[in-house]
Chain A
Amino acid sequence: MRESFELCWHITRRNWAVYKKDFLANISPTIADPALIMVSLGLGLGAYLTDVEGHSYMGFMAPGLTVSTALFTSFFESSYGFYVRMTFENVFKAMLTTPIGVREIVLGEFIWVGLKGGLMAVGVSIVLALFGLMSDPWLLPLMLFVGVLVALPCGAMGLLATSYVRNINQFQTVYSFLIAPLYFFSGIFFPISQMPQVVRIIGYLFPLVPGVALAQSVFWSRDIAASFAFNGTILTLQSLIFCAFALYRIRKKLEA
């Protein structure tokens, strides 16, 4: 058990070693995307939308942007990133000749996307808090949990996509028909309470809607405990189910 965890951790360290080689190029989209949305939609649309559920439009979007950061950072890592390592670089073939097994490769990947998603969510939250968009900055550490809980199922979705695509271009289809709709119907840009019930129910089957609701409760200091109990449980269940399914699928890819 301990040995297996150590091996997972080495995989995580490997991903970090590669990530930091190109640190600026890797981290800049994570910062630039929410900043762009904040400036364009926040300042642009925000001039017309002065009261969205009692918030300025910037104030309304802020918590959701931490969640979308966790989504994109983990999904892209475990889809394109993992696919390239598996198919073009063949690194797993070599790893599997060592005491590492498929379980360690996949769990090491989850530790990596979870940590990265959590830290990115905190990072973006710090910037937003500096702009006064967080009602109680002492709650910042809670955003680590929000980031991790969103990044894990999103990373698992990336791995599942990796296990199904037949070539790298097909990720674009996954993005257009799964990730983009989840992103736009997540409650980041408008309250999903105004959408038909079926949209809301489907939304709760994926990590974005509960993730955004959880981030909003933290940012707005509103029913935090209840939100963690409800949305946190949903995200934990999704993490377990999606990650287990992803492990099963990737095992079929790497072993025969």
Chain B
Amino acid sequence: MALVHSHQLSKSFGGAPAVQGVSLRIEPGECFGLLGPNGAGKSTIINMIYGVVHRTGGELTVFGHDPSTQSRSIKKRLGVVTQDNALDESLTVEENMLLYAAFQGLPAATRAKRVRELLEYMNLAHKADSRIQTLSGGMRRRLVFVRALLGEPELVILDEPTTGLDPAVRHLIWGKVKELRARGTTVILTTHYMHEAEILCDRLSILNQGKLVALGTPAEMIKAHTPGFVGIFSKNDEARLKAVTAGFAKADVVEDSSGFHVRVPELAQLTSIYQSHGLNPLQIRPANLEDVFLKITGQELMSDA
């Protein structure tokens, strides 16, 4: 049975639709990604899963319960890495976590031990007595992970877990997420980083303007929407490149600050552009989730605007 199951799930805020007819099944043990541009409805869906936002249409069950009426039973079994850290600034690291251990319903006798274990697990044990104000951004983020894991959740929701973090902390967090997965914990991830989604998620969905527009494994999505390879060409070659790619679909030639991204189904086509026109690509890479994302959410047209 699906751990999260939605059917035609909808939410509007005072008449303005935020989520429209989303049907999803998230299975136990998988890492499921919710991707989409800002305002696509990712956070609204997350908030509906733990019952802070109430749906205005369709069905939603989490662990078989309705989050609108039984959110406490659901929240006992999940942990959320919130987008805002929302830590109690005036309390110390340990005081914060002991409080949340109590909120999570841990028996008083086991709270201190659980907090200490998790602080060690996230390399924060040496900061136990520090006030939150003295922590760096990366430390705060790790502490929010500790907070989410206190109740030994079966489902962990990661709402943009690595936004604004340096690469070292980001890799540390990815490692921890993989360890969670190895232990069989179900994970729901929202992120703006396609690379992050590609390496962490078993399956993912792309939302745009509140609607589910794509669903599948990262490989399936790339194969279905942007198969092949991408060559990046210098802007200096614009005139000649335009002539060569005149017959290409508009979505397959994308301009951004780094140059022109030309996507072709077969690697040989890039070689032929090079051989017959002398256009030397700056870089050649396999198409990735970012190409899918840009194609589906229509933002490749931004450069035309």
Contacts and interface: CB of A to CB of B under 8 A. Distances in A.
Interface string B45-56: 001001011100
A17 B94 CA distance: 12
B90 A98 contact: no
B86 A10 contact: no
Q: Most B CB atoms within 10 A — which of A3, A7, A95, A99?
A: A99
Interface stretch (A86-94, A144-152, A222-230): A86-94
Interface string A79-114: 000000000011101111111110000000000000
B13 A99 contact: no
A13 B53 CA distance: 27
B53 A100 contact: no
A53 interface: no
A-side interface mostly: helix
Interface string B69-98: 001100110111010111111110001000
A150 B147 CA distance: 37
A64 B295 CA distance: 70
A99 B86 contact: no
A254 interface: yes
B174 interface: no
Contacts, number: 73
Contact of A18 (B52, B79, B90, B105): B90
Interface residues of B, number: 33
Given A17-B95, A18-B91, A256-B54, A101 B71 contact: yes
A100 B13 CA distance: 24
B102 interface: yes
A17 B71 contact: no
A100 B84 CA distance: 18
A100 B82 CA distance: 15
B108 to A, nearest CB: 10
Q: Most A CB atoms within 10 A — which of B52, B71, B91?
A: B52
A98 B52 contact: no
A94 B82 contact: yes
Given A18-B90, A21-B90, A97 B102 contact: no
Nearest to B98: A17
B190 interface: no
Contacts of B53: 255-256
A22 B89 CA distance: 13
A18 B124 CA distance: 22
Nearest to A10: B102
A55 interface: no
Contacts of B84: 90, 93-94
A14 B99 contact: yes
B63 interface: no
Given A93-B86, A94-B87, A13 B76 contact: no
B105 A17 contact: no
B88 to A, nearest CB: 6
B104 interface: yes
A21 B47 CA distance: 33
B89 to A, nearest CB: 6
B103 interface: yes
Contact of B79 (A7, A93, A97): A97
Interface of B: 13, 47, 50, 52-54, 71-72, 75-76, 78-80, 82, 84-91, 95, 99-100, 102-105, 147-148, 151, 157
> What 9 A-B pairs come out closest when comparing CB atoms?
A94-B86, A97-B80, A98-B103, A90-B86, A10-B102, A256-B53, A99-B72, A99-B75, A90-B84
Interface of A: 3, 7, 10, 13-14, 17-18, 21-22, 89-91, 93-101, 254-256
Given A10-B103, A93-B86, 10 more contacts: A10-B102, A18-B91, A21-B91, A89-B86, A89-B89, A94-B82, A94-B85, A97-B50, A97-B82, A256-B47
